[in-house]
Structure 1
Amino acid sequence: MSSIQPTPPHGVSDAAPAGPAASVRSPLSDGEWHRLHPLTPLFRGGLALVIVAGVVISNLRDRLIEWFIPTLAPGAGLEEYEDYSGDPIDFILANNLIVIALLAVLAIVLILVGIFYLSWRFHTFRITGDEVEVRSGVLFRTHRRAPLDRVQGVNLTRPMVARLFGMAKLEVVGAGLDANVKLEYLSTTNAEEVRTDILRLASGRQLAEAQEKRAAAVSRGQAAASVVTAGLTGIIAGAEEPVAEPESVVHIPVGRLIGSHLLSGATIGLLFGIGAIVVGAIVGTPWLLFGMVPTVIGFIFYWVRSITRSLRYSIAPTPSGVRITFGLFTTITEILPPGRVHGVEVRQSILWRPKGWWSVHVNRLSGRSATDGQADQFATVLPVGTRDDAERVLRLLLPGLHETEWPAVFAHGLLGPAEDDPYTNTPRRARLLRLLSWRRNGFLLAGDTLLLRRGAIWRRLAILPLARVQSFALTQGPIDRALNVGNLRAHTVLGPVDGALGIIDRDAALDLFADAEAAAVAAARSDRSHRWAGEQE
C-alpha cells in the first residue's frame, strides 16, 4: 500500500502542530493527523460478522441443498415448505416475501458498511516530537497519548489473516498499566517505518524544524480518494514483500524447541497425573479415564500453541535496541530499547542440564496486566538455548556490563560455585534452611549490577541493573534472628525475575544494603540509557 496522504480528521482544524522532524522516514510521522488502513474496521470487528455469517450458512446447509433439489429431481417443488412451522425461511417462501427479505438484508449490509466507514473516518493518529496520539470513536470519543520519553518499546504484530493483505498493527508500549497505544492496522512497510520513527524520536535526538506544508494542498475529497485507491491496490497486489530483518545472533532448531517442552515440569506433571489416573482406574474406578481425556486434549493444545509461538524466533541488535521476533501464524516483532530492561534472569531446569540448555527472561514494562496471557510471552527473550546462545543474548541485553565481570555471570554464577567463588553465600550455620542450595545461594555486587544466585536443582541467576532498581528491603523472622541471618529483596517492576534472596549473613546483608543503595543512587544519576541517542543527531 502506498503512503496515505495526510487528511485532517472530521472536526479538527487544518492547522497542524509542528511535525517531529524533517528527516523522518515515513510521511505518516510528520505531525499531521492521518487515518489508518481502509480495511482496519473489517479486521477489528468485521471478521466477527464474517464468522457469524459462516455459522448461519453452515446451519442452513440442509436448506440450501433442498433449494437446489427441484433442479436435480423433477417433481420436487417448494410446496413442501408450507408444512414447516416456526421457520422464518419457510414463512418467507410461503408468503412470497423473498424480495422484501433481500432488501432487508441489503439494508443491513449498507448500515454495517456505513458504520465501518464512520469508524474508520473518526479513527486518526499523529506522531509529534513529543508523543503519539490516537483518537477514535463516533458517539463516545477516546483520545490516548503516549509520551515518547516514556516509551518502553514498540511491538509490531502481524496476524495470519492480516499478513495475507500485507497489514500489521503497532503497539506503543507505555510506562504504566493499560498505557499502550495501538495503531491497527497499517501496511507492513508503513508500520516498520513508523516504528523506526517513534524509536528515533524516543531516543532523544533533536532533529531539524518541522517540514513545511506542501505547496499544493490536497483537498479532502482527493485525499480520501487516494486513500481508498491505495487500499484497493494493496488488496489486489496481495501481501507485500517480506521486510528485511537483521541477522539473528541465535538460531533455535525445531528439535531443540520440541525437546525443551517435552523435558518441562508441566509435561512431567501430566505424565504423573496420567499414571495416577490409570492406577486408579485399574484399582476400581474406570470412569476416571474419561475425565482424563479433556485434560490431555487441553494440554496438547497448550503444548502445540507454546511451540508455534516460539517458532521463527530471532534476536538481533539494531540502532534502536534489541529486536526480537517470534510466532509462526501470528508473527510478533518487538524492539526493546536500551534502558528498558529492569532485570534479567537465566534459568536451567534439572531436566535440561544434560543438554546444557538455558532460558533467559526479563522484567520490563509491557503495559499489560499480570493476568494477560501475552505478558509472560513478552518477558521470555530466549525460550531455550545453549550456554553460548545465552551469553549472546545477555551481551545484547546488558551492554554496560564490564568484560571483567562476565566470569561472575557464567563460571561462578550459572555453573558455580567454582574455586575462588566471589559470591557471598548462605553461612554454614543456616544450611538447614537451604539444605540443597546453601553453597549456591548468594549475591555479588559487581559495579552497577547486583547478581543473585539461587537454586541447586533449578538453577537461577538474576542480574539487576542498579539504575533500574526501585528500592531495597531487609527482613528478618524469629528463626532468622536466632541464626543471625536475613533476607534481601530488590524491588523492580513486576515480572518473572525475582529480586529476593533469603538466608544470608545478617552483617553481610546490612553491608550490601548500604553499598547497593549508594551504588543505585550513583547509577541512576549517571544513567542516560533511557535517551540513548544523546541530545543531537
Structure 2
Amino acid sequence: MSESDRDRGAAAPAAARRATDLADGEWHRLHPASPLLRGGLALIAIIGFVIANLRERLVEMFLPVFAPDLGGEVDREFSDWQGDWANDPIGGIVLNGLVGWALLAVVLVLAGIVGGFWLSWRMHSFRITGEAVEVRSGILFRSHRSARLDRIQGINVQRPLFARLFGAAKLELSVAGQSGDVQLSYLGSTLADSLRADILRLASGARAAKAAGVRPDSAADVAAIADAAAAGEPVADGVPGHALDEASAAGKGRVSELVGRRVGEFMAPELDPELAPPESVVHIPLGRVIGSTLLGGAMIWTVILVGVLAAGIFTQQWWVLFSFVPALIGLVSYAWSRITKSLRYSIAGTPDGVRIGHGLLSTGNQTIPPGRVHAIEATQWLLWRPFGWWTVRVNVAGQSISAGSDAAQRTLVLPVGTADDVRRVLDLLVPGSAIALADVIGAGLTGRGTDGGFRPAPRRSAWLHPLSWRRIGWIEQDGIAAIRRGVLLRGLVVVPLARLQSVAIQRGPVRRMLRLASLRLHTVTGPVTATLPAVDAIDAEQAFESVAREAVERAALDTSDHWGAAHA
C-alpha cells in the first residue's frame, strides 16, 4: 500500500469500512479516558476556582518580585488577616510548619481521585446482544440499564471539543419512553461510528451473523480485538488498531502519527459522502445560517433588550443592568449556539436511516432509523419569507421538547433551508413522499384555499381565525395526512398514518354554534402538534372515519421498523 493510500485510509470515511466485534453478547469496557471526560472537567473547574481565589498568595510564594509591597499600617492589618485560617489557609499552613502534612494531604487527595477514576472505569461496562444494549455502572450504588433494540428511535454520536482531543466520542441511544436513553460515554471516535452500525444492523432485524461485517479468523484475533476495543482503539478489517499502527508506522514516531490522526478526525466531515449519493444530501451555506439567525425571533428580543439597557444607562437607572444583562447574555449565547450547531450541517439517507451531522469544534451526528418519524413540520417565520427559508422539526419517540436542549436540538432536522430542501428532507424522512405529495408540498407551504387539492376551512371560520382562515386546510393521500395553517408563522404538518397513535374531534360551544370542529392527530410527544384548528363539522366526522380506518390499514402493512429483515 502506498503512502497516499494510507493517508486516504486514515480519514473519517474509513469509519464506514471498519467493523467491530463488540456485538457478541460479552461485557466490554469504555475508553480509558471516560472518567476524566465525564468528571474531569468539573475537577479542573474546581482547581481553577481555588487558584483564582488564592492567586495573591501563590504570586507571593512563587513570584515574589511581582508581589505588591505593602507598608506600615496596611502590613500590620494584613498580618492580622493572614493569621486567620479562614481567610488565608496557605499562610496558616506555612506559619505553623505544616507544609509537609499539607503536601501529603494533596498527594493523598490526588491519589484518591485517580483511584476513583480508575475504579469508575473498571466498574462501567456494556454489552450488546441480539435483543438489547445493556450498561452497568456505579461503585457504591450499582445501576443496570437496558435498551431494547426494537425500541431504539435513534442513535446519536457526539464529539465535544475536549473529548475530540482524546479521540473519543459519546454514543447515545434514544429509546421510546420517558428517561429511557442509554449512553456509552465514552468510546474511541471511530469505534463509536462502527459500533453504531453494528447496533443499527441488529435493530433492523438482520441476523447477527450478517451484522458483524469482517470477522476475525482465530481466538487470538478475537482476544486482540477485544483488548483494542476496551482501550478505545479503532478496529479495522478485523485487525486491532495498535497492530495497524505498528505495521504502518515504518519509521514514523508514535506522537506524530497520533497528532496526524487527531488532525484527520478534526478535519473529516461528520457524514461519509460514500454512504449516500450526492443529490440526496442537503448543505446549508454559511451566509444563510448567519442571516437566518439575525432575522430570527431571538435577535428581535436582543435588539429590544439592548434598547432597554441603553435607556436605563442614559437615565441612570442602574437596576436595569442587574435585571436585563443576564437575559441579554442568554439570548446572545442562544444565537451563537444556533450558528455553531448549524455549521458543517448535512443530512443524507443511508441504508440504516437518515443521518444528520452538524458542528464545527464540538460536533455531533444522529441516525434516525426507518419507521421512527411520527410527524414532520416545516415552518416559516415572517421575516424569512422574502428569502424563502424554512425550518423542519420532527416528532420521534423518546425525544420531547421538555427533555433538555440537546434533545430539542435533535428534533431539528433542518435548521434553515429552501422549499426544495424541504422536499428533499421530507422524502428522506418519509420515503416516497416526494412522489405521493408532488402536487401537495408546494401548495402546503405557500398556498391557500383549494390549492393543491387541500380541503379548506369554511368562510365562517374567519370569526375564530380572521387572519389565517384562508390558509387552513388539510389533505389525506397515499397514507399521509397533511395539515396547512398559519400566516405570521406558516406551517405544514405531515403525518405518516402508519405512525398515528389516535385521532380526536373537539367542539366547544362557539364551534358548535358555527358548525365547526377542530381535528387533532395524536402522535408521540414532541415539538410538532398536528391540529387542524377549524373545519366544517360534517367534514370533520368524515375525516375522523377516513383517517382512523387508513391508519389501522397502514400500520398493519408497515414493516419499515425491521428494514433489514428482508436480507436476513
| TM band (smaller chain) | 0.7 to 0.9
Give 2:299's aligned amino acid: T
Provide the C-alpha distance between the structure 1 equivalents of 2:561 and 2:232, rounded to a whole number of angstroms. Answer: 41
Shift of residue 482, structure 1, vs aligned partner? 1.4
Give 1:190's aligned amino acid: L
Provide the C-alpha distance between the structure 2 equivalents of 1:230 and 1:273, rounded to a whole number of angstroms. Answer: 49
Partner of residue 7, structure 2: none
- Of residues 94-103 and 455-464 in structure 1, the stretch that sits farther from structure 2 once superposed is 94-103
Provide the C-alpha distance between the structure 1 equivalents of 2:441 and 2:64, rounded to a whole number of angstroms. Answer: 79
Partner of residue 549, structure 2: 518
Partner of residue 50, structure 2: 56
Superimposed CA distance per residue, residues 107-157 of structure 1 (whole angstroms, 9 cap, x where no aligned partner): 111111111111111111011111101101122111111111111111000
Work out whether residues 312 and 318 of structure 2, in 8 Å CA contact, stay in contact via their aligned partners in 1: no
- Of residues 320-329 and 511-520 in structure 1, the stretch that sits farther from structure 2 once superposed is 320-329
Superimposed CA distance per residue, residues 5-44 of structure 1 (whole angstroms, 9 cap, x where no aligned partner): xxxxxxxxxxxxxxxxxx9920222221101111111111
Provide the C-alpha distance between the structure 2 equivalents of 1:266 and 1:439, rounded to a whole number of angstroms. Answer: 28
Is 1:296 the equivalent of 2:328? yes
Shift of residue 307, structure 1, vs aligned partner? 1.4
Shift of residue 252, structure 1, vs aligned partner? 1.3
Change (3 A) 1:406 1:280: same
Is 1:129 the equivalent of 2:130? yes
Provide the C-alpha distance between the structure 1 equivalents of 2:83 and 2:131, rounded to a whole number of angstroms. Answer: 65
Superimposed CA distance per residue, residues 463-483 of structure 1 (whole angstroms, 9 cap, x where no aligned partner): 000011100000111111111
Is 1:329 the equivalent of 2:399? no
Work out whether residues 400 and 527 of structure 2, in 8 Å CA contact, stay in contact via their aligned partners in 1: no
Work out whether residues 59 and 66 of structure 2, in 8 Å CA contact, stay in contact via their aligned partners in 1: no
Change (3 A) 1:400 1:278: same
Superimposed CA distance per residue, residues 42-96 of structure 1 (whole angstroms, 9 cap, x where no aligned partner): 11112211221122222222222212356899x99xx999763023222322233
Shift of residue 503, structure 1, vs aligned partner? 1.6
Is 1:531 the equivalent of 2:545? no
Q: How does 1:149-298 map to 2 (within 5 A)?
A: 149-208=150-209, 215-216=219-220, 237-238=258-259, 240=262, 241-242=264-265, 245-247=271-273, 249-272=281-304, 274-275=306-307, 286-287=317-318, 290=321, 291-298=323-330
Partner of residue 507, structure 1: 538
More helix by share: 2
Give 1:42's aligned amino acid: L
Shift of residue 214, structure 1, vs aligned partner? 5.7
Change (3 A) 1:71 1:226: farther
Work out whether residues 380 and 489 of structure 2, in 8 Å CA contact, stay in contact via their aligned partners in 1: yes
Provide the C-alpha distance between the structure 2 equivalents of 1:396 and 1:313, rounded to a whole number of angstroms. Answer: 16
Aligned pair partner of 2:485 in 437, 454, 457: 454
Shift of residue 417, structure 1, vs aligned partner? 2.6
Change (3 A) 1:91 1:267: closer
Change (3 A) 1:90 1:471: same
Provide the C-alpha distance between the structure 1 equivalents of 2:129 and 2:400, rounded to a whole number of angstroms. Answer: 24
Work out whether residues 180 and 367 of structure 1, in 8 Å CA contact, stay in contact via their aligned partners in 2: no
Give 2:500's aligned amino acid: V
Provide the C-alpha distance between the structure 2 equivalents of 1:391 and 1:425, rounded to a whole number of angstroms. Answer: 22
Shift of residue 298, structure 1, vs aligned partner? 2.8
Give 1:97's aligned amino acid: L
Gaps of 5+ in 1: 1-22
Shift of residue 218, structure 1, vs aligned partner? 9.3
Work out whether residues 250 and 389 of structure 1, in 8 Å CA contact, stay in contact via their aligned partners in 2: yes
Provide the C-alpha distance between the structure 2 equivalents of 1:28 and 1:285, rounded to a whole number of angstroms. Answer: 65
TM-score by length of 2: 0.82
Give 2:545's aligned amino acid: A
Is 1:359 the equivalent of 2:391? yes
Q: How does 1:306-385 map to 2 (within 5 A)?
A: 306-367=338-399, 370-385=402-417
Shift of residue 289, structure 1, vs aligned partner? 5.4
Provide the C-alpha distance between the structure 2 equivalents of 1:24 and 1:30, rounded to a whole number of angstroms. Answer: 16
Identity %: 46
Change (3 A) 1:322 1:433: same
Provide the C-alpha distance between the structure 2 equivalents of 1:462 and 1:401, rounded to a whole number of angstroms. Answer: 13
Give 1:113's aligned amino acid: V
Give 1:186's aligned amino acid: L
Work out whether residues 82 and 90 of structure 1, in 8 Å CA contact, stay in contact via their aligned partners in 2: no
Provide the C-alpha distance between the structure 2 equivalents of 1:436 and 1:314, rounded to a whole number of angstroms. Answer: 36
- Of residues 360-369 and 331-340 in structure 1, the stretch that sits farther from structure 2 once superposed is 360-369
Work out whether residues 298 and 335 of structure 2, in 8 Å CA contact, stay in contact via their aligned partners in 1: no
Question: How large is the Cα RMSD of the aligned pairs?
Answer: 3.3
Question: Number of residue pairs matched?
Answer: 509
Shift of residue 272, structure 1, vs aligned partner? 4.3
| Paired residue secondary structure (1:497) | coil
Gaps of 5+ in 2: 1-16, 235-240, 246-253
Work out whether residues 24 and 129 of structure 2, in 8 Å CA contact, stay in contact via their aligned partners in 1: yes
Partner of residue 113, structure 1: 114
Work out whether residues 206 and 535 of structure 1, in 8 Å CA contact, stay in contact via their aligned partners in 2: no
Provide the C-alpha distance between the structure 1 equivalents of 2:529 and 2:296, rounded to a whole number of angstroms. Answer: 20
Partner of residue 83, structure 2: 85
Superimposed CA distance per residue, residues 343-368 of structure 1 (whole angstroms, 9 cap, x where no aligned partner): 01111112111111111111112356
Change (3 A) 1:310 1:30: same
- Of residues 228-237 and 33-42 in structure 1, the stretch that sits farther from structure 2 once superposed is 228-237
Work out whether residues 33 and 166 of structure 2, in 8 Å CA contact, stay in contact via their aligned partners in 1: no
Provide the C-alpha distance between the structure 1 equivalents of 2:478 and 2:222, rounded to a whole number of angstroms. Answer: 58
Work out whether residues 350 and 457 of structure 1, in 8 Å CA contact, stay in contact via their aligned partners in 2: yes
Change (3 A) 1:225 1:186: closer
Provide the C-alpha distance between the structure 1 equivalents of 2:481 and 2:179, rounded to a whole number of angstroms. Answer: 30
| Paired residue secondary structure (1:352) | helix
Provide the C-alpha distance between the structure 1 equivalents of 2:207 and 2:223, rounded to a whole number of angstroms. Answer: 32
Partner of residue 13, structure 2: none
TM-score by length of 1: 0.86
Change (3 A) 1:339 1:223: closer
Work out whether residues 278 and 289 of structure 1, in 8 Å CA contact, stay in contact via their aligned partners in 2: no
Partner of residue 98, structure 2: 97
Is 1:429 the equivalent of 2:427? no
| Paired residue secondary structure (1:208) | helix
Provide the C-alpha distance between the structure 2 equivalents of 1:413 and 1:223, rounded to a whole number of angstroms. Answer: 53
Work out whether residues 246 and 316 of structure 1, in 8 Å CA contact, stay in contact via their aligned partners in 2: no
Aligned pair partner of 1:480 in 503, 511, 527: 511
